[in-house]
Amino acid sequence: MLVRKPAATLSWIDVDVGGDLHRVVFSGLGTDFGQSIRERMEWLSGPGDGLRQLLIEPPFGEPSICVDLVTTPVQPGAQAGFVIMEVMGYPFFSGSNSMATACALLEGGYIPIDTQNGTQCVRLETPGGRVDAHVKLQEGRVEQVGIEGDEAFVHQAEARVYLPDVGAVSYELVWSGGHYIMVDAERLGLSPADVSKPAALTLAATIVEAVQADFDLLHPHLGDVGKPRFLHWMWPERMHPPGQWSGVGGSYGHPGVLWKCPTGTGTAARLARLAHQGRAQIGACFQNTSPSGAMFEASVLAVSSVGDYPSVHTRVVGAPSVAGAVTLTLPSSSPALVGRDLDWLFAENQATFIAPTLD
């Protein structure tokens, strides 16, 4: 017989990254030590998806919020694992979410601050693998985080999809922790000011759904990673000086969200695309500014391959900032739980989050 607790408690730290709120959750979910981080993600994306809905939908959230559920790592050397939850589902990796998680772990006291010349490496584990967060701190506060994570590569070049009311739309498909549909915004007559408007959000949704319709690509190492749910609007890159690129880019998450930050994975995807075109080598960097004015910078650290696809290993830099800490106590009778199938959250044997081992 399932014994239910009268209430469940969730605790998190909200971190702003480029104008977007990232909710780093530290309690409320037990850890199954027999599961990989990917398996925990897959469970959450199925029977556990009500938690994502609870935290990014009213009354406690809104769709542009990103959630990072911290959990005990599996890989040797990792200090914490985390599962990413967004409007589009569950990415394997995310730059801005990695920045936020590292910031919250340090400023929340979950990992001791131990800097060398003002910097510290926080070793994280995502469903897609290991992530290193190189953190600059000043008097215990995070000033900047550089993320080294998943290899980025062009998975499909010179692709095209046909839309009845628009015609042929050219795009490239780039993997950088999730599949990004890379679209030249100028070719469709869109300015940076346009892409947050309802018509452009509808157009982005239509493109994503058209690409999804016959999508069957598998990641060379990860296998089935689901259908593309990201689109990155691009405006022309400028180079000044040689190897130093800049441009404007807006990241859309399906359905219906244009993030204020350009996203770390979107920025890495831009740099992978430049490398694929022969315009970026080791040492090159790209400053990606979102339509709302937030900027991330990515640099090429190394080149390699993922399966048969040439890839780049990047570091993406941003400046996260703690917005506040929240503890939410939910009675089992809360109307916010209706339709979200969260009975498991109230089980008596549901363990509180087991904090990562401090080392």
Assess whether 251 carries a catalytic annotation.
no
Distance between CA atoms of residues 189 and 183, nearest Å: 12
> Within 10 A of 128 (CB to CB), how many other CB atoms are there?
24
CATH number (3.40.50.150, 3.10.310.10, 3.30.750.24, 3.40.50.2300) of 7-147+321-346 reads 3.10.310.10
Distance between CA atoms of residues 336 and 100, nearest Å: 26
Per-domain boundaries in the chain: 7-147+321-346, 153-318
Give the tokens for residue 140. 């215990």
Residue 136 sits at φ, ψ, to 5 deg, of -95, 130
- Give me the residue label for tokens 């042929």: 168
* C-alpha closest to that of 296 among 233, 258, 257, 247: 247
Q: What is the pLDDT of residue 92?
A: 96
Domains 7-147+321-346 and 153-318 share a fold: yes
Distance between CA atoms of residues 246 and 138, nearest Å: 28
Active-site residue among 94, 96, 290, 299? 94
Q: Are 261 and 17 in contact (CB under 8 A)?
A: yes
Q: What is the pLDDT of residue 355?
A: 34
Distance between CA atoms of residues 286 and 245, nearest Å: 5
Q: What is the pLDDT of residue 354?
A: 36
Instruction: Output the CATH code of domain 153-318.
Output: 3.10.310.10
Give the tokens for residue 47. 């029977």
Q: Are 129 and 251 in contact (CB under 8 A)?
A: no
Q: Mind listing the pLDDT tens digit of every residue in the chain (359 residues)?
A: 455 788 999 999 999 999 999 999 997 666 666 789 999 999 999 999 999 999 999 999 999 999 999 999 999 999 999 999 999 999 999 999 999 999 999 999 999 999 888 999 999 999 999 999 999 999 999 999 999 988 999 999 999 999 998 999 999 999 999 999 999 999 999 999 999 999 999 999 999 999 999 999 999 999 999 999 999 999 999 998 999 999 999 999 999 999 999 999 999 999 999 999 999 999 999 999 999 999 999 999 999 999 999 999 999 999 999 999 999 999 999 999 999 999 888 876 554 333 333 33
Distance between CA atoms of residues 37 and 40, nearest Å: 5
Is the whole model's pTM more than 0.85, yes or no? yes
Helix (H, G, I), strand (E, B) or coil at 111: coil
Give the tokens for residue 9. 């408690």
Please calculate the CA angle 129-130-135 and round it to the nearest 5 degrees. 145
